[in-house]
């Protein structure tokens, strides 16, 4: 009976360690992804301002330049919406499966 209790305690400890490792890896990846997204948004904002400025000189009209850039962003949003399952959901599901149910080589 003592062996069974020790076995159960070891399994509980193993579960705690695997959960802690999985959560720490997932949270580290989440923070890294958030920082990367913030940086990309800053760069995208600056590039948008440059593109609008260049297009306004080229077209001679600031509203036309803003409309062109807006149209490009709407087109990109439509493409991202259509590819959302392949790009985001499936990718994140595979990532979390790998984190929590890895191959155990570590």
Confirm whether 106 is domain-assigned: no
Confirm whether 76 is domain-assigned: yes
Confirm whether 56 is domain-assigned: yes
Alpha carbons 35 and 43: distance in angstroms, whole number:
12
Confirm whether 42 is domain-assigned: yes
Instruction: Please give the tally of structural domains in the chain.
Output: 1
Backbone angles phi, psi at 101, to 5 degrees: -125, 45
Cβ contact 59:65 at 8 Å = yes
Q: What whole-number percentage of the chain has pLDDT above 70?
A: 93
Predicted TM-score (pTM) of the model is 0.62
Task: Kindly report, residue by residue over 34-75, the tens digit of the pLDDT.
Answer: 999 999 999 999 999 999 999 999 999 999 999 999 999 999
Task: Kindly report, residue by residue over 68-82, the tens digit of the pLDDT.
Answer: 999 999 999 999 899
78: number of Cβ within 10 Å: 10
Confirm whether 58 is domain-assigned: yes
Range of the domain at 40: 2-99
Confirm whether 47 is domain-assigned: yes
């Amino acid at each position: 009976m003592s062996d069974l209790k020790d076995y159960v305690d070891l399994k509980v400890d193993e579960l705690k360690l695997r959960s802690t490792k999985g959560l720490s890896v997932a949270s580290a990846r989440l923070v890294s992804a958030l920082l990367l997204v913030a940086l990309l948004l800053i760069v995208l904002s600056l590039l948008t301002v440059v593109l609008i400025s260049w297009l306004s000189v080229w077209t001679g009209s600031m509203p036309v330049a803003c409309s062109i850039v807006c149209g490009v962003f709407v087109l990109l949003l439509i493409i991202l919406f259509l590819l959302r399952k392949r790009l985001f959901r499936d990718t994140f599901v595979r990532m979390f499966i790998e984190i929590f149910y890895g191959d155990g080589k570590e």
